[in-house]
Structure 1
Amino acid sequence: MVQNQGVDVPKLLEAASLLVPEEIATRNDITVNDVWEYLTQDEWEVALGLLEELGDVQPLPLGFWETLATAAEQLRLTKSAAWCRWRCYETGNGIIRADLTLRPATEARRQTPISGAGVLRPMWNIGNRTPTGGPDLNVAALWVEFTPFLEPGGRASVRLAPLAPARWQHLQPGQMIIMHEDRSVAGTAVVLEVHRPTTTSIA
């Protein structure tokens, strides 16, 4: 049994499993029963990955993602831990997904790929205005889906975690927003989905 700093990883995963409804299944027909099977085999990393997949099927409580994040940290699965912490944020503040296209290196200041794992916190022009009528840029962290890095000129679906969620309440699918890392335009994105928070804000 894996233990680290007094935290029992299997018990954490078992606790998270109990928060998953038995009837939900992933596209690959994975259910919580599959998770329990891997837990009995001491395959904790596999069980964690399956629980993350089940968490995408329908909204689950904040405690589910907090428990998974702690388990991932104990297993030293850095990216999984970061993802679960990200989902903790989304549970309290809502989900914003967008289709982002970065400007090519020949047209932008950035010459290197951006990390996909929520490290970058660029500014965004989302239509808000200053008292004088100029653009009022708003900060949101950026998580790139399905790839660890996004190259200059690349395109990917992303998730945004606003620093001040209330400033983003007007966003609607189909709306274009503009990404900045400085005064110049770093990329443009079209909003794909906006889901309001399922719990009281934790930001």
Structure 2
Amino acid sequence: MDVLELLEAASLLVPEEAATENDITVRDIWDYLVHDEWDIALGLLEELGDARSLPLAFWEQLAEAAEQLRLERSATWCHWRCSEIRNGVIRADLTLRPAAEARRTTPISGVGVLRPMWDIGRLSPTGGRAVSIARLWVENMPTLEPGGRATVRLVPLTPAHWTHVQPGQQITMHEDRTVAGTAVILEVCHPATTMPAR
């Protein structure tokens, strides 16, 4: 499919009553599509998708459209949202340890590149602490400095490890044996149980 077809197909998956914070609706998006303003339509569709739960096919179509438009950050975000639907997502308030107290002295990327280990209270078969891996996306910030604090989105590598995690729970982030940061769980969304066909 070309960009226009992808954006049209994605817009058909958005309920008509859905609106952005600025009261932009799917009908408004169709006006942008008619006038070949595809990048604006894509951004508005992302905004509509961020405000409500939409199916995997919606985000897959937006990701492909963003790739065709060479909008790298949008493509990365749409692929991230696909991962959230497949694996679930945990939102948390993360505070990194200051550079003087931790091994990390450089900012972490905010766009889902880092895959740190997390102590979420699991035990190994021998009774010791076990860690689980989750990719990390920093909300509304391109990077997070050592000592900084932000709301983050975690996509578990093994969703079954995270089923016991609940809002209010404190977990620790590790990039090696030392604690790199501490997070308090804000929200847990489990993986979609049924996946729409592509």
Counterpart of 1:136 in 2: which secondary structure? strand
Q: Is 1:119 the counterpart of 2:93 in the alignment?
A: no
2:100 is matched with which residue: 99, 103, 106?
106
Q: Which residue in 2 is equivalent to 1:54?
A: 48
Q: TM-score, normalised by structure 1?
A: 0.93
What letter is aligned with 1:57?
Answer: A
Cα 1:27–1:17, aligned 2, differ >3 Å: closer, same or farther?
Answer: same
Measure how far apart 1:58 and its partner are: 1.6
Distance 2:193 2:138 in 1: 24
Measure how far apart 1:94 and its partner are: 2.0
Q: Give per-residue Cα distances to partners, 1:60-90, cap 9 Å, x unaligned.
A: 1111000000001111111111111111111
Q: TM-score, normalised by structure 2?
A: 0.95
Q: Which residue in 2 is equivalent to 1:3?
A: none
Q: How does 1:1-203 map to 2 (within 5 A)?
A: 7-200=1-194
Distance 2:93 2:177 in 1: 21
Query: After TM superposition, where is structure 1 displaced by more than 4 Å over at least 4 residues in a row?
Result: none
Deviates most, 35-44 or 105-114: 35-44
Q: Give per-residue Cα distances to partners, 1:9-68, cap 9 Å, x unaligned.
A: 111111111111101112221211121111112111111010001002221111100000
Q: Unaligned regions of 5+ residues in structure 1, if any? A: 1-6
Q: Unaligned regions of 5+ residues in structure 2, if any? A: none
Contact 2:88–2:156 (CA<8 Å) still a contact in 1? no
Identical aligned pairs, as a percentage? 71
Contact 1:59–1:198 (CA<8 Å) still a contact in 2? no
Aligned residues: 196
Tell me the C-alpha RMSD between the 2 structures: 1.3
Measure how far apart 1:201 and its partner are: 6.5
What letter is aligned with 2:81?
Answer: R
Contact 1:140–1:162 (CA<8 Å) still a contact in 2? yes
What letter is aligned with 1:171?
Answer: V
Counterpart of 2:64 in 1: which secondary structure? helix
Counterpart of 1:56 in 2: which secondary structure? helix
What letter is aligned with 2:143?
Answer: F
Distance 2:192 2:132 in 1: 23
